[in-house]
Amino acid sequence: MITKKIDDNSVALIPEESDDLFTLRRVIRNQDRIIGDTTRVVKQDKDFARPDRGERIKIRVALDVEKISIDDVVDRLKIHGIITESDNESVSKGSHHSITLRISEPITLIKKNWNDIENKLLFGKKDTGSFLLIAIDTTDCGIGRLTGTHLKIIPNLYSGASGKRYKSKFNIEDFFKEVQGAVSSTIRERDEIIIFGPGETKKRLGNFLFELPSIKGHTIRVIDGIDSSGEDGIYTFIKSETMRQALTKSKIAKVSSILDDIMLMVNKKINKFTMGFEETSRANEAGAVQSLVFSDKIFENHDEDKIISFLNQAEGKGVEVYAVDSTTDVGLRISSLGGIVSLLRFSLTS
């Protein structure tokens, strides 16, 4: 999440992944004030305007929060409240409205008082990095942007190289230029570029991108161990030991390691883990939880406010809390295990 403090009470925010929306759900409370862009239907009092229908216009409002909830789509946060300010005179103050916050959409959050957990959630965690993943071969190229545990993939690029055509007409640099265009439109300032795939094409692409002024300032790493290209190569990398070794300090590597440790304990019948909300909640009350991972699945079967309160309580005890979504294999696996798992500091007797 991109954050910038405006003053002691206000901060400008841009969520970059689903985890950021989960974080904001844990930070925003009733009576906080949100400033952001939204749309509203406004009746038009002018000639030829239809009397039974207003016009939906874009407005900027300040909203005193009354209720906040995670939308069913997950990549959206619903914020309901009362309008206190608007940049459109047709929108009256005191009326109820809701803002739907999505990834990459900026808002300003204003609080009368910030507690320690809220400060820690927004400002205390270190940036775990974001990565532009490129899985390439002579025939195709897959590009995905990994932020935390959120993966966004763009459609495959195809070179058209095959058989005799490859030998007589195909120029690999033409394909690289096409890849460059896709990279330039996708990459962000802090992204590290990771290139992999079968054969030597990945190294040639790495050298090609390294010479480009538009890529200056970005770290480029070419790694071995992944023999697939395109979208399949991206997903293969995300699930691989190669990923954990290459992105050791990344959030997805940490979460994958936690899940692997739990699966190992399951096989060895070591009782230092939990699965499911009730079991994890009891372990947290006993002060046994060391780290936990949850997915959006947990909100389907439990009261949302209860879950948010539990997560903040765990964070207050020093527990490492990670959120995942269904864009990666690890997120799907957490969902299949009840939506929440944890590693324990010590075993609990049943």
User: Average pLDDT over the chain, rounded to whole?
Assistant: 88
Q: What distance in Å separates the CA atoms of residue 62 and residue 157, rounded to the nearest whole number?
A: 43
Question: pTM surpassing 0.75?
Answer: yes
pLDDT band at 165 (very low <50, low <70, confident <90, very high): very low
Residue from 108, 74, 63 nearest 300 by CA: 74
308: its two tokens: 């948010």
Q: For 86-115, how does the pLDDT look when each residue is reduced to its tens digit (9 = 90+)?
A: 887 777 788 888 899 988 899 999 999 999
User: Lowest-pLDDT range, 42-46, 139-143, 146-150, 229-233?
Assistant: 42-46
Yes or no: is domain 130-246 CATH 3.50.50.100?
A: no
Confidence class of residue 6 from pLDDT cuts 50, 70 and 90? Answer: very high
Report the phi/psi class of residue 40: left, alpha or beta, with left for phi > 0 and alpha for psi in -120 to 50.
beta
The angle formed by the CA atoms of residues 28, 33 and 34, to the nearest 5 degrees, is 80
pLDDT at 32 over 80: yes
Whether the pLDDT of residue 201 is over 60: the answer is: yes
Signed CA dihedral, 215, 192, 77, 107: sign only:
negative
Per residue in 44-57, pLDDT tens?
555 555 555 667 77
Architecture of the structural domain at 251-344: 2-Layer Sandwich (3.30)
Residues 6+ apart with CB under 8 A from 283: 274, 289, 342, 344, 348
- Mean local confidence (pLDDT), 150-155: 90
Quick one: three-class SS letters along 182-197? Answer: HHHHHCCCCCEEEEEC
In this model, does residue 298 exceed pLDDT 70?
yes
Measured CA distances, 328 to 70, 142, 147, 214 (Å): 19, 15, 11, 29
Minimum mean pLDDT range among 164-168, 210-214, 325-329: 164-168
Report which of 318, 317, 311 is spatially closest to residue 293, judged by C-alpha positions: 311
Contacts 24+ apart (CB under 8 A), 165-168: 166/138
- 240 in Cβ contact with 224 (< 8 Å): no
In which band, very low, low, confident or very high, does the pLDDT at 78 lie, cut at 50, 70 and 90? very high
| Buried b / exposed e along 159-183 (16+ C-beta atoms within 10 A) | bebeeeeeeeebeeeebbeebbebb
What pLDDT score was predicted for residue 337? Answer: 92
Whose CA is closest to 291, among 264, 325, 256? 256
Q: Among 183, 170, 164, which residue's Cα sits nearest to residue 138?
A: 170
Q: What is the average per-residue pLDDT within 270-286?
A: 94
Q: Is the pLDDT of residue 33 over 70?
A: yes
pLDDT value at position 264? 94
The predicted structure's pLDDT at residue 213: 86
Residue 289's pLDDT band (boundaries 50, 70, 90)?
very high
Amino acid at 291: S
Mean pLDDT of the 167-192 span: 86
Query: Which sequence spans correspond to the domains of the chain?
Result: 2-124, 130-246, 251-344
2-124 folds as: SH3 type barrels. (2.30.30)
